[in-house]
Structure 1
């Protein structure tokens, strides 16, 4: 019997925060095709819903995400549908892992990863694609692909060098060693490490603080930072000026300026 994706990816919205929780603890939250589709859809909904102003991605059990569970996925040897043919794997990667990572990067709301345990393969890239990462002390990050004789996918060769530089990225990908949470923080992969029992509360505090911020300004700030890593200085400065022009027409920008002039705390509505 096929599992219900709504059971395997839990979702709730509280205090303007969308909580997306991987829920296959018996499989260390190795993500299936159906789970990916649900997470992608929830991120798209978060972008479009003005009532959602921040997102948390987390998981149940001892693992954050042990990678991709490819059983039954198209293009995988031994899966339903017969023998693999040329192009199947590339298509599977484009439609699966890459769409998942792109959904996080392109989400118009700040996305926070609350990493409760092992994040391996695409699971590590899911966390690292998020705007902020909080890790529990037992968490580990593993570029597991080399252990299976595989090339990293899910944007790993794009994400890692931008976080730790090309030499360190190659070390992590060439050897596939587990990186403990404290080391991940030292390398710049993680913003904060907390005790396991403090993870949810810390993530909630950060997410709700983000949810009280100027949502459109945060969205454009996210876009500017992400794009700056790919473009030249002139393009980055032009994008910055355009974003500022657009943002100055929002209610939150007007509120921010008015609150400064009136010497009071701003009250942002996300509009």
Structure 2
């Protein structure tokens, strides 16, 4: 597999690292295709109970590779692929955002530096975001005449509200980690040299938790994003009853009565 995306397993935690540090992990076609495939495998692997995504070097991800885009635009101007086919390819690459958002296991973005454009969108798709105090954030799209992709518009307005999301997209201002925490873009900010230690401690905790319950929690959240309150109550009830039938629930209930810590096996 291409080395533009690296993977490492620590117990039940999979870390995905974007690995084009010389270009601030900018997304070229090779990275995008590989990232989508790696994330799909992680979503489908029952041995993986938590997924971390981060970047190598000084950046999380600077967004799309503008140099590659400019070259692609020249080719398109001389008879390249059609608008529809290019959109289809992009949509398949965007699956990384959907998978991080919907896969039935917790996902964490460890934001070690700049997260811009599609890189920010991918970070927003994770369930939790831990940022280095050196991290910087920008939507960036307006700076290069783009409208945005990888789900950023859908995700951002749910985090900060429609008006603030529009402002962040229209102006493409760069915000620091403290402001990102204030806005609710990240769940915590830590010293730069502690980022991966803090992230992995959280990831291991989640991986040791009730993964079947986490999957149903995520299902409730995702369902509720596009359905009514009444329908979401029904979905919650169905998932609650299903959770009650698991071995993990029975063992945890007994551990609660016996005043000891439960052990979850994902069954």
What TM-score does the superposition give when structure 1 sets the normalisation length? 0.92
Q: 5 Å matches for 1:126-141? A: 126-141=122-137
Counterpart check, 1:56 vs 2:52:
yes
What is the RMSD computed on CA atoms of the aligned residues? 1.9
Counterpart Cα distance in 2 of 1:203 and 1:95: 28
Of 168, 174, 178, the residue aligned with 1:178 is 174
Counterpart Cα distance in 1 of 2:67 and 2:116: 17
Offset, 1:92: 3.3
Deviation digits for residues 30-67 of structure 1 (CA, Å, limit 9, x no counterpart): 12222223222222222332221111101111010011
Deviation digits for residues 142-164 of structure 1 (CA, Å, limit 9, x no counterpart): 11000111101111110111000
Offset, 1:261: 1.8
Q: 5 Å matches for 1:211-250? A: 211-250=207-246
Counterpart Cα distance in 1 of 2:261 and 2:253: 11
Cα distance change, pair 79–205 in 1 and its aligned pair in 2 (3 A): farther
Unaligned segments of structure 1, at least 5 residues: none
Q: Please identify which structure carries the higher helix content.
A: 2
Counterpart Cα distance in 1 of 2:73 and 2:30: 18
Of 249, 253, 256, the residue aligned with 2:252 is 256
Residue 120 (structure 2) aligns with: 124
Deviation digits for residues 1-25 of structure 1 (CA, Å, limit 9, x no counterpart): xxx62x1111111121001011110
Residue 198 (structure 2) aligns with: 202
Residue 95 (structure 1) aligns with: 92
What TM-score does the superposition give when structure 2 sets the normalisation length? 0.93
Offset, 1:233: 0.5
Deviates more, 1:184-193 or 1:27-36: 27-36
Alignment check: 8 A CA contact 1:16 1:54 kept? yes
Of 16, 25, 30, the residue aligned with 2:26 is 30
Cα distance change, pair 50–175 in 1 and its aligned pair in 2 (3 A): same
Residue 106 (structure 1) aligns with: 102
Of 43, 52, 64, the residue aligned with 1:68 is 64
Alignment check: 8 A CA contact 1:77 1:84 kept? no
Alignment check: 8 A CA contact 2:141 2:172 kept? yes
Deviates more, 1:117-126 or 1:27-36: 27-36
Alignment check: 8 A CA contact 1:129 1:159 kept? yes
Task: Find the residue that maps to 2:232 and give its secondary structure.
Answer: helix
Cα distance change, pair 79–56 in 1 and its aligned pair in 2 (3 A): farther
Alignment check: 8 A CA contact 1:124 1:143 kept? yes
Residue 192 (structure 1) aligns with: 188
Task: Find the residue that maps to 1:87 and give its secondary structure.
Answer: helix
Number of residue pairs matched by the alignment: 265
